[in-house]
Structure 1
Amino acid sequence: AHSRTCNDLESGKLPMTAEDLPAFLWSGERPGDDYNPENKLSCLFKSYYLVHVAQHIFLGSSSALGGDSHATRSCNVVLHDMSSVDAEHIAYTCIQARFSVVSKSTWSEKDSIFSYLKFYRTIVSLILDATDKRWRNELLKWWNMYVVCSSQAFTCSANKLLEGNYLVMKMDAKMPTPAVRRLLPQVPVPPQCV
Structure 2
Amino acid sequence: MSGFGARVRRLAAYEGRWLASLVWWVARRRVGVSEGARALPYAGAQAAFAYGLTFVCVVETVAVSLLLRDQPALHAVALVADVYTVLVVLGLQSAAVVRPHVLGADGLLLRDGARSELRIPVELIASVRYDLRSGPGNGRSDGHKDGKVLELAVAGQTSVTLELVEPVVAVRLLGRREMVRTVRFHVDDARGAVAAVRAVVGRGEPVTPG
Q: Give TM-score, length-normalised by structure 2.
A: 0.29
Which structure has more helix as a fraction of its residues?
Answer: 1
Q: Give TM-score, length-normalised by structure 1.
A: 0.31
Which structure has more strand as a fraction of its residues?
Answer: 2
